[in-house]
Structure 1
Amino acid sequence: MVAGKRKDRASESAAGDRGDGEEIKKAKLLPSLIRNKEKRSKVYANLKRDKKSEKRKQAKAREAAENRALELGEEPPPKKIPRTIENTREPDETVCKPNDEELVAANDADEFSKILKLEIPPKILITTCRFNSTRGPAFIQELMTVIPNAHYYKRGTHELKKIVEYAKNKEFTSIVVVHTNRREPDALLIINLPDGPTAHFKLSNLVLRKDIKHHGNPTSHKPELVLNNFTTRLGYRIGRMIQSLFPQEPFFRGRRVVTFHNQRDFIFFRHHRYIFESKEKKDDSKDKKAQSAQSKINTEGRVIARLQECGPRFTLKLVTLQHGTFDSKGGEFEWVHKADMDTSRRRFFL
């Protein structure tokens, strides 16, 4: 009886091995179908190694083809463009074309044309919400070093509509309201004067200047403004609104650069300054006798340009764009961000 049981167990194990072997053959591309953990990890490691070696072979073949084309004086084979969320975005009819006459005509008649045509210099009023925090004034102080001709007014208990009327009488061109929640700035409201529009942004990832490692101190020169990837009609309008906050005559000797980079409808703000450094390249002579007598060092000057971040650093996300100046009850909105707009990762609005 015992010998019979041993034979049955041996036959079962052999059948199990055969079944695992067939399972491995079937699951060459799907190691997750293999029940045995050791065999599954072994098959996965082999697949990973084969994939890496195949990738290396393709890279070598591509490099050899490029070298062969250069030797023969031919054009190298075109490089493959990787698939990203940006270049596979959903088609949008509102994307601006390079030579859009309708867009140019609209720009000449919009609310920002007087400032951008240098007819009126920008004058900015910066204030806070009613319940301010400790990081709010620190952020405003750094914001005033970024935006030239910006003036801070304490909010107090004044309503925003009265502040708008006061700013109109004092010939301000824009109002920037920094909203705070739980002692942290979390929103930015930009009101263009005298007739709007009003943009409400969600503010996140705020890093003040003191928290940036090796930060620089900005000067009072007018900065150079860089706007990236504002491609749609809505993005173009938001870009012109941001552009109207800054003077259109940058002083390049100050080497200040303010960047608003739009990527996947998130607007990243950075503030840098250029630094030009001259570095010396040393070539020591290899002659030992000459080194013992006198070391000969030839120096060649090289100018290296690098960027030094001045801060602050934050991210903006457009929530609403409203016609006219701020009106929470009877205002008409041009664009409102809703929750159902985020169903697709490849749909962008700016």
Structure 2
Amino acid sequence: APPKAVPKTIENQRVYDETTVDPNDEEVAFDEATDEFAPYFNRQTVPKILITTSDRPRGRTVRFCEQLSTVIPNSHVYYRRGLALKRIIPQCIARDFTDLIVINEDRKIPNGLVLSHLPEGPTAHFRMSSVRLRKEIKRKGKNVPEVILNNFTTRLGHSVGRMFASLFPHDPQFIGRQVATFHNQRDYIFFRFHRYIFKSEKKVGIQELGPRFTLKLRSLQKGTFDSKFGEYEWIHKRREMDTSRRKFHL
């Protein structure tokens, strides 16, 4: 019998992107050694994250921030009460924060996430959807989770993946059995937080702890947050970029 044909999917029919990262490329190695995340990967900095919101957040957004802080070790929630982001960033840098996360909301529902790497950027703006909260907030976990990054294959995707990785401390504590996954599929980034459950020596299950959400990159900006004069490395332009269902950017 002839071999079975591999089913065609949008993923395996993807249009080739010339910026696809080759781990053995000298230019990629140079970029990794000199980019804004190099101090983290060289273990010169310890992640310390400030999580804040748009002004006057509602209950669901507040709960989401509190639950996100249980996922990311050494993260602190601060409600800025009208203080401009441009004024918060120098204070964060002075207090040795390495990243700032801003959760935006619309009609009481979290709908956007801004991630700014400190002190020199970059800053990523994401649209956020499909937010599902944990039913209750258990005490803040002290274990460092394992971080899994799937399918960040282009130069842009590589930068975004390094951004997510640098939120979490090195050396996951496997005794806690916790896993944070950022899975990129067709430029949608699905976040899940699980715990391994060892049923026997041979059987392992997983339990979703939550929260869960989906991100879509809108822009990547050089430097820290600057809505007026920021220089953009990449910005999503739907009419120009979404011309093919098989063309992806991450």
1:105 & 1:99 partners in 2: Cα distance?
11
Task: Give 1:310-321 correspondences, 5 Å limit.
Answer: 310-321=209-220
1:134 & 1:253 partners in 2: Cα distance?
33
1:219 & 1:309 partners in 2: Cα distance?
15
What letter corresponds to residue 226 of structure 1 in structure 2? Answer: I
Q: Is 2:189 the partner of 1:267?
A: yes
Return the match for 2:227 from 317, 325, 328: 328
> How many angstroms does 1:79 deviate by?
3.9
Q: Is 2:84 the partner of 1:159?
A: yes
**Residue pair 1:218, 1:256 contacting (<8 A) in 2 also:** no
> How many angstroms does 1:220 deviate by?
2.0
> How many angstroms does 1:219 deviate by?
3.5
1:208 & 1:272 partners in 2: Cα distance?
13
1:337 & 1:131 partners in 2: Cα distance?
28
Paired residue for 1:10?
none
Q: Which has the higher contact order (CA 8 A, sep 6+)?
A: 2
Q: Max radius of gyration: which structure? A: 1
2:13 & 2:140 partners in 1: Cα distance?
39
1:218 & 1:126 partners in 2: Cα distance?
15
Q: What is the TM-score when the length of structure 1 is the normalising length?
A: 0.69
**Residue pair 2:146, 2:179 contacting (<8 A) in 1 also:** yes
**Residue pair 2:144, 2:178 contacting (<8 A) in 1 also:** yes
> How many angstroms does 1:183 deviate by?
0.2
> How many angstroms does 1:129 deviate by?
0.6
Task: Give 1:42-191 correspondences, 5 Å limit.
Answer: 62=1, 78-191=3-116
Give a deviation string over 1:124-154, Cα, whole Å, max 9, x none.
Answer: 0111111311101100111001000001111
What letter corresponds to residue 333 of structure 1 in structure 2? Answer: Y
What letter corresponds to residue 244 of structure 2 in structure 1? Answer: S
% of aligned pairs identical? 53
Partner of 1:210, secondary structure, is coil
Between structures 1 and 2, the one with greater helix share: 1
Paired residue for 2:157?
235
Q: Which runs of 4+ in 1 moved over 3 A?
A: 215-219
1:144 & 1:162 partners in 2: Cα distance?
22
**Residue pair 1:216, 1:309 contacting (<8 A) in 2 also:** no
> How many angstroms does 1:78 deviate by?
4.3
1:123 & 1:203 partners in 2: Cα distance?
23
Between structures 1 and 2, the one with greater strand share: 2
Partner of 1:89, secondary structure, is coil
Q: Is 2:180 the partner of 1:255?
A: no
**Residue pair 1:125, 1:151 contacting (<8 A) in 2 also:** yes
**Residue pair 1:223, 1:256 contacting (<8 A) in 2 also:** yes
> How many angstroms does 1:101 deviate by?
1.0
Paired residue for 2:144?
222
2:83 & 2:168 partners in 1: Cα distance?
27
> How many angstroms does 1:175 deviate by?
0.2
What letter corresponds to residue 329 of structure 1 in structure 2? Answer: K
1:98 & 1:175 partners in 2: Cα distance?
28
1:78 & 1:111 partners in 2: Cα distance?
48
> How many angstroms does 1:216 deviate by?
8.9
1:266–1:255 CA distance, 2 compared to 1 (3 A): same
Alignment length (residue pairs): 249
Q: Is 2:230 the partner of 1:346?
A: no
Structure 1 gap segments, 5+ residues each: 1-61, 63-76, 279-301
2:124 & 2:191 partners in 1: Cα distance?
16
Superposed CA RMSD in Å reads 1.6
**Residue pair 2:71, 2:141 contacting (<8 A) in 1 also:** no
**Residue pair 2:102, 2:115 contacting (<8 A) in 1 also:** yes
1:161 & 1:219 partners in 2: Cα distance?
31
Paired residue for 1:197?
122
1:261–1:216 CA distance, 2 compared to 1 (3 A): farther
2:181 & 2:142 partners in 1: Cα distance?
17
1:137–1:82 CA distance, 2 compared to 1 (3 A): same
**Residue pair 1:129, 1:178 contacting (<8 A) in 2 also:** yes
